[in-house]
């Protein structure tokens, strides 16, 4: 192993057949994946993933309403913000009805009260909304630090700027998605394919959503934890897993909530909020397990999984890259 340290060479020779010299996750053999999956199972309990996800859910709920306010304010610069609610039906079947109901009510309330005139009051209101929504993203960063066995080393300014950037990009993505819902039918009509609009949207939205969610998760796993950035190939598997699992669980939970989960009967007027919180909680659990998968995949190899020039173990600036996961037999 050219340029490798003696410790890494020793691990490779002592633990053959586990993928200790793997350059990519695909080079890890079956025995190595057994190690990874068993460590993930243990880490879910050790890292208190379910409880931590509940904490992130709390901050996310607090962040959702300011984020909606910011979304409506920005959308109102280009179009009537009240029209946003007409696009919510396009995510029916993926997002529980309770979540759609909560978002629709909040959008309607903000659109009816807020001013979309670009002025000092608008700018101050927008900045306050973005800063409030930023708390949810920071809590997710903190949870990923736990998953990757890292402590927060970024300064207060850098951390807030990075989490704020993720928050803004999330809102911009939603704005672009809403814009696409308006533009795509117009383009199809212009091309003489207006009759196929509904079919195209129904078929294309799922692969498009999968690609977007996978890319978003990849960026989150790369820049969220406070550590030296991993190479893209070491976060791909967790991103794909989390995207597939999130889509599947969201569809199943939406179906369950629609047909069996009578939250309004149990929780009364809070039923929609409870369903919304439960869906966010499940989503955060999946995101954190995807992070565990990426982390333990890195943990399986002695090769440098971080960006930049190759460095020896112990000098890579990332716990999962600087140590080797224990064999599980």
Nearest to 263 by CA among 278, 252, 250: 278
pLDDT of residue 105: 82
Q: pLDDT for 23-68, tens place per residue?
A: 999 999 999 999 999 999 999 999 999 999 999 999 888 888 787 7
Neighbour count for residue 44 (Cβ, 10 Å)? 16
Neighbour count for residue 76 (Cβ, 10 Å)? 20
pLDDT of residue 130: 79
DSSP letters spanning 17-86:
TS-TT-SSGGG--HHHHHHHHHHHHHHHHHTTHHHHHHHHHHHHHHHHHHHHHHHHHHHTTTS-GGGGGG
Q: Tell me phi and psi for residue 314, to 5 degrees.
A: 100, -10
Decide: 300 and 328 in contact? Cβ < 8 Å.
no
Residue 150 to residue 317: CA distance in whole angstroms = 10
Tokens of 325: 């996961």
Residue 179 to residue 79: CA distance in whole angstroms = 10
Q: pLDDT for 139-183, tens place per residue?
A: 999 999 999 999 999 999 999 999 999 988 888 877 776 666 656
Does residue 10 surpass a pLDDT of 60? Answer: no
Residue 141 to residue 284: CA distance in whole angstroms = 12
Does residue 6 surpass a pLDDT of 70? Answer: no
What's the angle, vertex CA 215, arms to CA 143 and CA 46, rounded to 5? Answer: 25
Distance of CA 157 to the CA centre of its chain: 22
pLDDT of residue 2: 47
Nearest to 166 by CA among 188, 187, 136: 136
Q: 3-state class of 306 per DSSP?
A: strand
pLDDT of residue 222: 96
CB-count burial class (<10 Å; 0-12, 13-18, 19+) for 287: buried
Nearest to 96 by CA among 272, 287, 281: 272
Tokens of 59: 């901050």
Residue 233 Cα distances to 134, 237, 239, 305, angstroms: 28, 8, 10, 9
DSSP letters spanning 95-108:
B-HHHHHHHHHHHH
pLDDT band at 3 (very low <50, low <70, confident <90, very high): very low
Nearest to 109 by CA among 144, 77, 85, 93: 85
pLDDT band at 269 (very low <50, low <70, confident <90, very high): low
pLDDT of residue 159: 93
Does residue 252 surpass a pLDDT of 80? Answer: yes
pLDDT of residue 12: 56
pLDDT of residue 4: 47
Nearest to 146 by CA among 325, 324, 319: 319
As a whole number, the mean pLDDT across the chain is: 82
Nearest to 238 by CA among 32, 31, 37: 37
pLDDT of residue 326: 86
């Amino acid at each position: 192993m050219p340029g490798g340290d003696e410790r890494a060479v020793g691990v490779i020779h002592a633990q053959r057949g586990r993928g200790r010299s793997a350059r990519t996750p695909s080079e890890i053999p079956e025995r190595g994946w057994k190690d990874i999956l068993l460590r993930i199972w243990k880490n879910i309990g050790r890292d208190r993933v379910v409880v931590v996800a509940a904490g992130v859910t709390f901050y996310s709920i607090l962040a959702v309403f300011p984020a909606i306010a910011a979304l409506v304010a920005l959308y109102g610069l280009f179009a009537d913000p009240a029209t946003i609610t007409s696009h919510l039906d396009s995510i029916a079947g993926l997002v529980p009805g309770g979540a759609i109901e909560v978002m629709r009510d909040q959008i309607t309330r903000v659109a009816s009260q807020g001013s979309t005139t670009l002025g000092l009051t608008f700018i101050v209101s927008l900045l306050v909304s973005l800063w409030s929504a930023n708390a949810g993203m920071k809590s997710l960063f903190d949870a990923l630090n736990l998953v990757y066995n890292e402590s927060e080393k970024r300064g207060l300014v850098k951390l807030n700027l990075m989490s704020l950037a993720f928050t803004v990009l999330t809102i911009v993505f939603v704005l672009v998605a809403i814009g696409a819902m308006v533009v795509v039918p117009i383009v199809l009509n212009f091309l003489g394919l207006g009759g196929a609009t509904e079919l195209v949207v129904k078929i294309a939205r799922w692969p498009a959503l999968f690609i977007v969610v996978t890319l978003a998760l990849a960026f989150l796993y790369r820049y969220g934890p406070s550590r030296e950035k991993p190479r893209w190939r070491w976060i791909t598997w967790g991103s794909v897993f989390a995207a597939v699992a999130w889509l599947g669980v969201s569809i199943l939970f939406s179906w369950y909530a629609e047909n069996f989960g009578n939250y309004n009967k149990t929780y009364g007027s809070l039923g929609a909020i409870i369903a919304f919180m439960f869906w966010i909680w499940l989503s955060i659990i999946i995101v954190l397990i995807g992070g565990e998968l990426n982390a333990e995949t890195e943990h399986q190899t002695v090769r440098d999984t971080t960006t930049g020039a190759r460095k020896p173990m112990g000098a890579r600036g990332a716990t999962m890259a600087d140590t080797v996961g224990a064999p599980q037999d």
